[in-house]
Amino acid sequence: DRSPSRGLGDVYKRQVENRRRELMSDLTHELRTPLTVVRGYLEELADGSISPSTELYQNLIKETRRLERLTDDLQELSKAEAGYLSITLIPLSLLGLLQSLIEKFSDQLLEDGPVLELIYPPDIPLALADSDRTEQILVNLMGNALRYTKKGSITVEVSRSKNQVWIAIKDTGIGISEADLPYIFERFWRADRSRASYSGGSGIGLAITRRLVELQNGKIEVESELGKGSIFRFSLPLA
């Protein structure tokens, strides 16, 4: 059964309410920190105990940006979890999409940074997938690979199994420890606090990514070794 509505089956719908509840409590927690910081500064400005400075305003902007990013990410995630994201499954040719993303990301690479390459078999089969959502998945995974890889390579590799086409994003970056791997797709999860400030990430990207893969009836897997690199791979059904 490859009908577009399969990802929104009954079991899935029953879990939605629970997920939304969890999401609300996570959200409250994540929003509190920047809000507290902003209110603190504003109160001190108001009573004159600190004076305005460029640095202070920059801090306020930073915290506000964080709130913005968080709400954007959350909107995407809650749409994906509740099945509100429109998913239109069509026979999709992956090569054009992958080539244009490789080109786009190549522009962001530094001279001495990692090389970015695409490996694919001569006849990539058509996937039954949604073009925009597939792009979103790739942007998230390639963006992470770039963020956590200072040198070496980032390889996007397409392969096919019996009923699926697989896309793997391999990097030679900082990697993820074995203890952390099971939690990597949890929302708000980050390998450590320092990474969050390093990446400016909210730890929602992979939760969204997994949901987008599942909504297209695919699977997502990760392999990683600390200090060596990571492989994120996801499947899409064949058209």
Do the beta carbons of residue 206 and residue 79 sit within 8 Å?
no
Told to check if 218 binds ligand ADP by CB under 6 A, we report no
Query: What backbone torsions phi and psi does residue 128 show, to the nearest 5 degrees?
Result: -95, 95
Q: Which is nearer to ligand ADP, 56 or 181 (CB)?
A: 181
Which residue, among 237, 216, 219, has the nearest Cα to 5 in the 3D structure? Answer: 216
Residue choice 80, 129, 145, 158 for contact with ligand ADP (CB under 6 A)? 145
Q: Does 206 bind ligand ADP (CB under 6 A)?
A: yes
Q: At its nearest, how many Å lie between ligand ADP and the CB of residue 3?
A: 29
- We find the least distance from the C-beta atom of residue 107 to ligand ADP, in angstroms, to be 19
Find the shortest distance in angstroms from Cβ 77 to ligand ADP.
Answer: 10
Residue of 85, 103, 105, 86 whose CA lies nearest to 95:
103
Asked whether position 202 contacts ligand ADP by CB under 6 A, the answer is yes
Q: Which residues contact 137 (CB under 8 A, 6 or more apart)?
A: 209, 212, 213, 234
CB of 14 to ligand ADP, least distance (A): 25
Report if residue 199 touches ligand ADP, rule: CB under 6 A: yes
Which residue of 171, 210, 216, 217 would you call a contact of ligand ADP, by CB under 6 A? Answer: 171
What residues does 28 pair with on adjacent strands?
A: none
Closer CB to ligand ADP, 159 or 199, in the complex: 199
Burial of 223 (0-12, 13-18, 19+ CB in 10 A): middle
Contact call for residue 217 and ligand ADP (CB under 6 A) = no
Which residue from 7, 114, 173, 218 is in contact with ligand ADP, where contact means CB under 6 A?
Answer: 173
Helices (H), the chain: 10-46, 54-82, 94-106, 131-147, 193-199, 205-215
Of 125, 160, 127, 90, the residue nearest 236 (C-alpha): 127
Binding flag, residue 201, ligand ADP (CB under 6 A): yes
Q: Is 174 in the site for ligand ADP (CB under 6 A)?
A: yes
Q: Which residue is nearest to ligand ADP (CB)?
A: 201
Query: Per DSSP, what are the bridge partners of residue 116?
Result: 154
Select 78 or 202, whichever has its Cβ closest to ligand ADP: 202
Q: CA 138 from chain center: how many Å?
A: 9
Distance, first Cα to last Cα, the chain: 12
**At its nearest, how many Å lie between ligand ADP and the CB of residue 194?**
9
Is 105 a binding residue for ligand ADP by CB under 6 A? The answer is no
Number of residues that bind ligand ADP (CB under 6 A): 22
Smallest CA-to-CA distance from 28 within 77, 67, 83, 69 is with 67
Binding site for ligand ADP (CB under 6 A): 144-145, 148, 171, 173-176, 184, 189-191, 195-196, 199, 201-206, 230
